[in-house]
Amino acid sequence: MEAEMKVKCIYQDSTYYGNKKVYVCKFFEQSIPENTTIIPDGKHESARGNEHVESVQFIACSLTKVPQGLTRIFPNLKVLDIFESGLKTITKSDLAEYKNLERIYIEHNKIKFLPGDLFEGFKNLEAIGFRHNNIEVIESNILDGLDKLKYVNFSCNPNYTKCYSQFSDYSPNATLEEVKDELMVIFCKDPKTINDLLKVKEENMNLKDKNAELNADNQNLKHEIDELNAEVKNLKEEVDDVNAKVRNLEGQVDDVNAQNQKLQSENRKFKNFLTDETFKDFQIQIGDHKFAVHKFLIAARSPTLAEILKNNPGLENLKMVDIPVGIFEVILKYFYTDELPGVDGMNILHLYATAGKLKIEELKEYAATKIIQSLDSKNPHEVLKLSNKYNHDEMRYQAYEALKKKYPDVNFRPELAVDNDQLDALMSQIKRKEEADRKMEEMFNN
């Protein structure tokens, strides 16, 4: 009989590869013994419950086995994520209850071997991630029967380098077929495996020859002619169907072109409103700068501004702080034209923070992508704090990794990645030490 154990957790919304947003239960840095039934100990967000949880994450926990019983607690679970938790082995039976999952990420662990039947019976699986383990052998049939795959990543392991991805926010280095080829090549390094495969191939060839002989004995010329006539008839029907579909598609293309022309015309109208002062009925003030705008348009584009206007129906002038004038000019142009800005000469961190504050999701994701692409050793601390403030998992992960790389001698505990107060305290200690080291060096030089 399994023992029950209360395990501290937090509940929050998160974003995965492909910008997929889910409500997640996260466990941090806790030791969970094998054969233990987990009882999550945390407070749900408002109007949320266990039935809303679609993802479970274990971060820097101590695990010897994939935790069991979670699908009974979270009936709509779709994502399992085990990160830096010391997991060494995984088997088909470990995942028996998780066959309805869409995504499995077991990364930065110590797994050495993946069996071929690991995902047998999984019908909805679209993402598999095993980066940064110690994997030496993966049985080559592990991806058989998985028809919905959009992401497979076995890279950063001793014998495996390939990554396949349809997600725009992660760069692949291989097609799905190339990933499968790598699995076959590595697995076939074992001479016993090669002999087994050759034996199966020979048996298949013998069966094929016998079937060909039986078919030759049972077929006659009249039967072949009848089959050919039937095929010609079917092909004619297929050609007619294709022609009908082509005509239908041509009609759809005409409809889409008409809709595009209509949308372009409407966009031009809104673009004209940007400089036309005639109907502007509201004013936003930033510092000494005043911007005349259309109240209905800014409410439609920003949930934050919509909430302010809803709660203050008589408001005619809104003063906003902590937003640079240049950034607001970019956002105002986006409101009226849907044009995404360039990044030359722009403080992209300010753009991300402002888009997060105003809850402009497309602009926020655009800025996050640009920040990740330009992340360097100068700003990982600032980027990490922003990712926590406006909840962006991928930016948080990349900034956290850059921070650890910048300070390799510092012990960055996993909870620092999600707690800005603890992070600021540690960074202050680092800065004081660097300043003390600098003064000591100047003293010795003098």
Q: What is the pTM of this model?
A: 0.45
The CA distance from 263 to 19, in Å, is: 26
pLDDT in tens, the chain (446 residues): 578 899 999 999 988 766 778 999 999 999 999 888 899 999 999 999 999 999 999 999 999 999 999 999 999 999 999 999 999 999 999 999 999 999 999 999 999 999 999 999 999 999 999 999 999 999 999 999 999 999 999 999 998 999 999 987 778 999 999 999 989 887 765 545 545 544 544 565 565 567 667 667 767 767 787 887 788 788 778 877 777 786 777 777 666 555 545 544 454 456 666 666 667 888 899 988 988 888 888 888 889 898 999 999 888 889 988 888 888 888 888 888 888 777 676 788 888 888 888 999 888 888 888 888 888 767 788 887 888 888 888 888 887 888 888 888 878 787 777 777 877 787 788 788 778 778 887 788 76
Q: Side chain identity at 45, as an amino acid letter?
A: E
Q: Are 84 and 414 in contact (CB under 8 A)?
A: yes
pLDDT score at 67: 94
The C-alpha angle 189, 192, 194, rounded to 5 degrees, equals 60
**Residue range 277-374 in CATH 2.40.128.260:** no
pLDDT score at 365: 87
Q: Are 14 and 46 in contact (CB under 8 A)?
A: no
Show me where the domains of the chain are located. 3-187, 192-218, 277-374, 376-446
Q: Specify the 3-state DSSP secondary structure of 80.
A: strand
pLDDT score at 348: 82
CB atoms inside a 10 Å sphere around CB 354 = 22
pLDDT score at 410: 79
* DSSP assignment of 224-274: HHHHHHHHHHHHHHHHHHHHHHHHHHHHHHHHHHHHHHHHHHHHHHHHHHH
CATH architecture of 3-187: Alpha-Beta Horseshoe (3.80)
How many alpha carbons lie under 13 Å from residue 320 in its C-beta half-sphere? 19
Phi-psi domain of 320 (left: phi exceeds 0; alpha: psi -120 through 50; beta: other): beta
The C-alpha angle 191, 195, 201, rounded to 5 degrees, equals 145
The CA distance from 194 to 188, in Å, is: 5
